[in-house]
Amino acid sequence: MNKKQKLYALAGLGLAQLLALNSAVAQEVKSLEEVVIMATKNDQKQNQTGKVVNIISAEQLERSAGKTLPELLSEQAGVIVGGATSNQGLNKGLFIRGAGSAYAVVLIDGIPVANPSGAGSAFDLRMFGIDQIDHIEIIKGGQSTIYGSDAVAGVINIITKKGSSDVSSVFGNGSIGSFDTYKGTIGINSNVSGFSYNIGYTQAKTAGISEAADSVGTGVPFEKDGNRTAALNANFSLQATKELSISPFFRYFYGRYDFDGGAFLDNPDNRYKTKHYNAGLNTKYEFGTGKLNFNYSYETTWNDTRNQYGVSQSQGKMNLLDLYYSQQLGGNLTLLVGVDNRLTKLEGSYRAHANLFSTYTSLFLHDLKGFNLEVGGRYNNHEEYGDNYTYSITPSYDLTRYVKLFGTVSTNFKAPTLDMLFGLYGANVDLKPESSQNYEAGINVRSNDNNLSLRISAFHRDLTDAIVYGNRGYVNQLSQKAKGFEVEPRLKIGPFSATGFYAYVEGNEFNFVNNQTENTLFRRPKHTFGLNLGLQATSRFFVSTNLKRLGKRTDGDFDFNNPHIVTMPAFNLVDIYGEYKLPKTQLRLFADLKNVFDEQYTEYYGYSSMGFNMNAGIAFNFR
């Protein structure tokens, strides 16, 4: 039996197990009226907004103990994380609705985070383990009016765990897996007399694999490329008065990753080390029908890369101040006004800094005979390129209680990074910000009990003044376009649940292989299909199967004599998860069996799958 046959056999076995089990305890399903979206800065209920929102719940996270954050995000409609299931030493590029990896904003508890030392400034998703997360909000589409630069294709808001019990609670988990993988989390939280805290520490290690292929048949095994990571997440909250709460936080991440020298080159000395510190606070003052929030965040990232080309070190810093005020104006109207300031610095082989000041406002009209509307605008002043503006208009209308129409028209932008403006290679201080015009529309249909729903959404994005690296360094290119649609059904019948999606995207962009615009998006397939089937077999036993298929996509072959574009084949992924809660204890046993696949090289480079990865462990929560 070959690898592909084994894959389908295991998938079939998982499905058969799901269908065979029949004893049940129904899972609670939250309705749209109960789910509050924090990323809008207005704490809207999901049924009050016309934005396309996906929620990864605490329950889903609890049942994903064997996965990483990139793997979990890749299971969502319209979201691709490059290399999510391959070697952890490879950087994980986040693509939302076909946009490049630098066109999405990552928030932690509503505060933007980034990698100020990186060329694209995108946050490294490997820095956050799912063991520290309570739930995740994914808002697709342009969000620059609220979150400014980079929010061209979407926003991912990671909500961390908080202290919730009136007694101290110790929690954690430990797991072992294939490729000599070990992972452990330990933490404590509490909420007593107006003071709460949650402190968690996660450490992981794996011997890894070698992604390079032996193209000349020497028979000498290539070195395995492993990694070691450690992460600390600490949240505190003090309810100083009835109206005032102060919530400081501190986060630390360390990672060391080994990687190969290329598709056919095994270089034992290649490695990447990073350290990331993030500290700040959120202050909230509530009075009457108004609420004032003040966020401060300081983060610094240090990188050290060693490969066959030499040694590179850099350190980036960002100071963020965000002050916003929301006021209820009657029963159906809310006003949001705010200012934020971001000072970014880069140190290393060269020093540079830039300041971006913004002010924004939005008006929310909700629950007016089934009609909701959000209208907002933002003014930005950058010390290098000057001024620019964005706006957004998001209406939605309930045709009936169970049928909702929604849409958005917005403009969005991405400011040039310090590396683009002042870097050592191809810098251009005259760069303008990248701008986009976004359109989206859709329909959401659900049943009376919310156990059956279907959402269909379509989008179009026109990016102008795109910054690309050409023959003469960084320049603003004419345009890039992308369009597509997503179909997301969901079904729940007693103990059985099923969620799925089909996503289609196409577009054009400039590529750095032949330095011209092509009607293709690198590493982003036109067709993506996903299906998750879950069964609460008993009150203690849960099992699920997740299937995903990624269609054909293009990439670059950087052959020195003949660099060209290649088409890589479609592939399938399968993940089978099981969990058992021990009686009369707070212990859970879990096992996760998933297909591990190199999304970047695949069969074009002479091999396809790296087989299956097994993770098994125990989780606990003692009070």
pLDDT of residue 138: 94
Lowest mean pLDDT among 310-314, 442-446, 457-461: 310-314
Residue 60 reports pLDDT greater than 80 = yes
Contact 488, 497 (CB under 8 A): no
Give the DSSP per-residue string, 270-311. -EEEEEEEEEEEEEEEEETTEEEEEEEEEEEEEEEEEETTEE
pLDDT digits (tens, 9 = 90+) for 203-247: 999 887 777 766 666 667 777 888 899 999 999 999 999 999 999
pLDDT of 32 > 60? The answer is no
Mean pLDDT of all residues in 142-159: 94
Query: Which residue shows structure tokens 């056919």?
Result: 264
Read off the pLDDT of residues 325-358 as tens digits, 9 standing for 90 and up. 999 998 899 999 999 999 999 887 788 999 999 9
Of the pLDDT bands very low, low, confident and very high (cuts 50, 70, 90), residue 121 is low
In contact, 389 and 410? CB cutoff 8 Å: no
Count of other CB atoms within 10 angstroms of residue 57: 14
Instruction: Indicate the pLDDT class of residue 12, thresholds 50, 70 and 90.
Output: very low
- Beta-bridged to residue 396, according to DSSP, are 372, 406
* Per-residue confidence (pLDDT) for residue 558, from 0 to 100: 67
Distance CA 418, CA 428 (A): 10
Q: Which amino acid is at 11?
A: A
State residue 2's pLDDT score: 44
**Per-residue pLDDT band at 192 (split at 50, 70, 90):** confident
pLDDT of residue 97: 93
For 549-560, what is the mean pLDDT? 79
**The pLDDT value given to residue 616:** 93
DSSP of 174-221: EEEETTTEEEEEEEEEEEETTEEEEEEEEEEEEEEE-----TT---PP
Residue that wins the pLDDT comparison between 379 and 180: 379
Task: Please give the residue that has the higher pLDDT: either 8 or 131.
Answer: 131
Determine what percent of the chain is predicted with pLDDT higher than 70.
Answer: 88
Stretch 383-395: mean pLDDT: 96
Of 79, 29, 139, 53, the closest CA to residue 404 belongs to 53
pLDDT for 24: 33
Interval 173-202 mean pLDDT: 91
Which amino acid does the sequence have at 173? Answer: N
Q: H or E stretch including 241? A: none
What is the structure's pLDDT at 66? 78
d(Cα 5, Cα 25) in Å, to the nearest integer?
A: 34
Please state which of the ranges 144-148, 278-282, 494-498, 569-573 shows the lowest mean pLDDT. 569-573
User: According to the model, what pLDDT value does residue 540 have?
Assistant: 93
Beta-bridge partners for 162: none
82: closest CA among 579, 568, 606?
A: 568
As a whole number, the mean pLDDT across the chain is 85
Q: Is 98:507 a contact under the CB 8 Å cutoff?
A: yes
What's the confidence (pLDDT) of residue 217?
Answer: 66
28 — pLDDT class (breaks 50, 70, 90)? very low
Place of tokens 């006021």: 327
Mean pLDDT confidence for 503-514: 85
Decide if pLDDT at 17 tops 70. no
| Highest mean pLDDT of the ranges 80-89, 176-185, 403-412, 478-487 | 403-412
Going by C-alpha positions, the residue among 112, 121, 118, 98 that lies closest to residue 148 is 112
- CA 120 to chain CA centroid, Å, is 16
Average pLDDT over residues 597-604: 47
Structure tokens at 575: 């993940």
Residue 295 has pLDDT above 80, yes or no: yes
pLDDT of amino acid 130: 86
Region 560-580: what's the mean pLDDT?
Answer: 84
Helix/strand/coil for 69 = helix
Q: For residue 508, how many C-alpha atoms fall within 13 Å in the half-sphere facing its CB?
A: 11
- The average pLDDT across 188-216 equals 85
pLDDT at 532 over 90: yes
What DSSP designation does 522 have? B
pLDDT bucket at 116, cuts 50 / 70 / 90? confident
Please tell me the predicted confidence (pLDDT) of residue 14.
40
State yes or no: pLDDT of 4 exceeds 80. Answer: no
Residue 540 token pair? 């203690």
Q: How far is CA 494 from CA 29, 250, 252, 501, in A?
A: 11, 42, 42, 21
Q: Is 257 helix (H, G, I), strand (E, B) or coil?
A: strand
366 phi and psi, to 5 degrees? -140, 150
Answer whether residue 26 shows pLDDT above 50: no
DSSP state at residue 13? H
Give 445-472 pLDDT, tens digit per residue: 999 888 999 999 999 999 999 998 877 8
* pLDDT confidence band for 605 (50 / 70 / 90): very low
pLDDT band at 35 (very low <50, low <70, confident <90, very high): low
Average pLDDT over every residue of 474-494 = 92
More confident residue, 429 or 20: 429
